[in-house]
């Protein structure tokens, strides 16, 4: 039946290394929950949408091989673009760990009377961890219990290895406030954090203005 998602995310947040970077989805309550748990720390990029979170995380991990890169995505988003698993297995950056919060439903679009959610394919026969393994991702697992999650978290941050963890979660959201920033603000906050912690310039510099100084 899966674990409570907020509980699972809180355990990830507690274990996350301070210098890690997180490529997270901004879709749905999982984004609100993660932001609430992390105090909206700028190390988390809430920039992923549907079908691009893992792809961006792979690019980020390759760009910064000395940084731990964590990806938080939903099952619907992963299913939208399975080609991301191909590049993840192909490149297998050892500093990348992907956590899929898999509630087997399209929950961010709401639910009907009685709380019935529209299911994703992972509610049926689709097995994301098996897909990732078939794409060559070195370490994959489907997580069903909190105890198993704790074990995987211990492993994930103790030895560099490209990992894909499909964490089965229960439907439902924690009662936390929605996020108030848009994608542009989220982009600036994250990239400025990377600039500060890497000591490098990423955003544009005005050439003409510099000549005035």
Q: Which residues bind other proteins (CB under 8 A)?
A: 23, 45, 47, 49-52, 54-64, 81, 83-84, 86-87, 90-91, 183-184, 186-187, 190-191, 194-195, 198, 200, 202-204
Nearer to other proteins, 21 or 141 (CB): 21
Nearer to other proteins, 2 or 51 (CB): 51
Nearer to other proteins, 45 or 128 (CB): 45
Q: Pick from 62, 35, 81, 80: which is nearest to 189 by CA?
A: 35
The runs of H, that is alpha helices, within the chain are 5-15, 29-38, 53-63, 75-80, 83-91, 128-134, 146-156, 183-198, 207-210
CA angle 49-133-106, nearest 5°?
30
Nearer to other proteins, 26 or 34 (CB): 26
Q: In angstroms, give the least distance from the CB of 65 to other proteins.
A: 9
Q: In angstroms, give the least distance from the CB of 1 to other proteins.
A: 32
Q: In angstroms, give the least distance from the CB of 83 to other proteins.
A: 4
Q: In angstroms, give the least distance from the CB of 18 to other proteins.
A: 18
Q: In angstroms, give the least distance from the CB of 49 to other proteins.
A: 4
Place of tokens 């955003």: 203
- For every residue of 21-77, DSSP letters joined together read EEEEE-SSHHHHHHHHHHTT-TTEEEEE-SS-HHHHHHHHHHH-TTS-EEEEEEHHH
Nearer to other proteins, 61 or 132 (CB): 61
Helix (H) or strand (E) holding 126: none
């Amino acid at each position: 039946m899966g674990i409570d998602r907020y509980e699972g995310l809180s355990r990830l947040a507690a274990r996350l290394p301070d210098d890690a970077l997180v490529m997270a989805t901004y879709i749905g309550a999982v984004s609100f929950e993660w932001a609430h748990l992390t105090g909206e720390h700028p190390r988390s990029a809430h920039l992923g949408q549907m079908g691009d979170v893992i792809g961006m995380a792979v690019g980020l991990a390759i760009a910064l091989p000395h940084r731990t890169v964590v990806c938080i995505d939903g099952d619907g988003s992963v299913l939208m673009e399975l080609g991301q698993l191909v590049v993840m297995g192909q490149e297998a950056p050892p500093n990348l760990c992907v956590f899929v919060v898999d509630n087997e439903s399209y929950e961010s679009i709401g639910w009907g009377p009685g709380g019935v959610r529209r299911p994703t394919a992972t509610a049926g026969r689709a097995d994301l961890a098996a897909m990732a393994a078939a794409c060559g991702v070195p370490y994959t697992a489907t997580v069903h219990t909190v105890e198993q999650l704790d074990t995987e978290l211990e492993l994930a941050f103790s030895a560099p290895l490209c990992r894909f963890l499909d964490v089965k979660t229960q439907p439902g959201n924690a009662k936390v406030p929605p996020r108030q920033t848009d994608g542009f603000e989220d982009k600036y906050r994250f990239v400025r954090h990377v600039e500060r912690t890497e000591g490098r310039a990423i955003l544009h510099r005005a050439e003409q203005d510099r000549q005035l100084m």
